[in-house]
Amino acid sequence: MTESLHTEILVIGWGKAGKTLAGVMGRAGRSVTLVEQSTDMVGGTCINIGCVPTKALVHQADVRREDDDPAAYFRGAVQSRDILIDKLNAANREMLESVDQVRLVVGGRAEFTGPKQVRVTGGSDELDITADAVVLNTGAVPRTIDVPGADGPRVHDSTSIQHVDPFPARLAIVGAGPVALEFASMFAQFGSDVTLLEHGARILRIEDEDVAESVRQALGDQGVRILTQAQTTAIEDAADGVRLRTGVGDVTADAVLVAVGRLPATEGLGLGTAGVEVGQRGEVVVDDLLRTSAEGVWAVGDVNGGPQQTYVSLDDHRIVTSQLNGSGRRSRADRIAVPTTIFLTPPLGRVGLSEHEAREAGKAFHVHVKAVGEIAAMPRPRTLGETHGLIKFVVDADTDEILGAALHTVDAQELVNLVALAMRTGTTAAQLRDGIWTHPSTTEALNEVLVTPGVS
């Protein structure tokens, strides 16, 4: 059966930007239709398979006691994860179902049939939709590797590894980016013998060497074995597990996680039919207003090739909403000091320029750096029993403003937001150094680290 409808705004994909935009515009009285092809992805990647469930597992891993049986404990952690995600999934559905002007189409695959014309197919049913505006919000999917055996039954991506069964006493991870490092730290804390395979000379190649070394040491103390220059050439089933052939020898494990990045999810959307240009990595090409090459079509979130962060996707919705129902002045060019966090144990927060980036940019700067275990003014890591890490600031030598920071410490995911705000507002290193902060808190590190004589 084929049905037709016209909507003012069509959103394809239930990610952070799309669902927020749908709610805002629907409550403003605009007719909105949101299409999501998977019933398992109501609410988007973040709450179903990304940020929230993985960080729930990180927390469960961190609080595991040494005498807890790894396999049994992991099963319980997964059950807790699933209960949480079911609640969030239902809450996300209700948030849009309660808006009269929003129509939800779940379980149908969308494909453009012409400019601002989409056919949604689900089983034998079809829905032809025309819209005044279309917002693409289809997210990203795990990148695969082209080696023999990479599609084997014991090879996982970042989604399936969250329900791996049986629990792997030995886990091999191909990749050493943020996702790979988070899972390496997590599964080591759960009790796995983890081997991380990095094809380059070191992990975290975009970070300064001292920051990367701080992370390497923390992972090593958790029991993670890191092999560099380890290019995986084949994955083979073996009697004692699954064997990975690499340039530095063979690695045998019970399960393999391939975590080598994520690619924009544009396959099958018929973007060429709509006149939407796609880049080399499959990303939808957009300008700073997130407009695509097709009039009246925008792309938000991971699909547009920008930073794959939920909070960036949230800001994407602000940019498009401003054009659909506001001044239209918001732009990606407005973004200053966008922070990131890798949720290792302890986490690594990063914002602004690294030392080597500042040098390459020709900046005159000072570096303030101190190992977490040596910061007397910050007792919080000791109270939590986690003193790994390093705190590093790059400070403009002329203005004393913060150019960037790397924060490998407990609570880094919070502290990095304060530093980012300081950078946006022009707050100086001296003002942070002389701030009055609660005790005991991680923020107190600012009182000591920024007193440390800077090295140019």
Q: Catalytic residue numbers?
A: 439
Strand order in the sheet with 255-258: 155-156, 255-258, 170-174, 193-197, 225-227
Per the CB < 8 A criterion, the answer to whether 183 and 257 are in contact is yes
For the record, the structure tokens of 113 come out as: 């049939």
Neighbour count for residue 135 (Cβ, 10 Å): 30
Nearest residue to 185 (alpha-carbon basis) of 154, 202, 176, 209: 176
* Alpha-carbon gap, residue 298 to 287, rounded angstroms: 9
C-alpha to C-alpha distance for 394 and 367, rounded to whole angstroms = 5
For 193, the token pair is 């013998």
Q: How many CA atoms lie within 13 A of 115 on its CB side?
A: 7
Under the phi-then-psi rule, with left for phi > 0, alpha for psi from -120 to 50, and beta for the rest, what region is 385?
Answer: left
Angle at CA 370, nearest 5°, toward 367 and 371?
145
Q: Where are the beta strands (DSSP E) in 13-154?
A: 32-36, 102-106, 109-114, 117-122, 125-136, 140-142
Integer Cα distance of 393 and 165 in angstroms: 42
Number of other CB atoms surrounding residue 8 within 10 Å? 16
Contact by Cβ (8 Å): 315, 326: no
Range list of β-strands (E), 125-221: 125-136, 140-142, 155-156, 170-174, 193-197
DSSP for residue 276: -
Count of Cβ atoms closer than 10 Å to residue 5 Cβ:
15
DSSP character string of 421-443: HHHHHT-BHHHHHT----SS-GG
| Residue 145: C-alpha distances to residues 70, 149, 248 (Å) | 29, 10, 18
**Measured distance between the N- and C-terminal CA atoms of the chain, rounded to whole angstroms:** 70
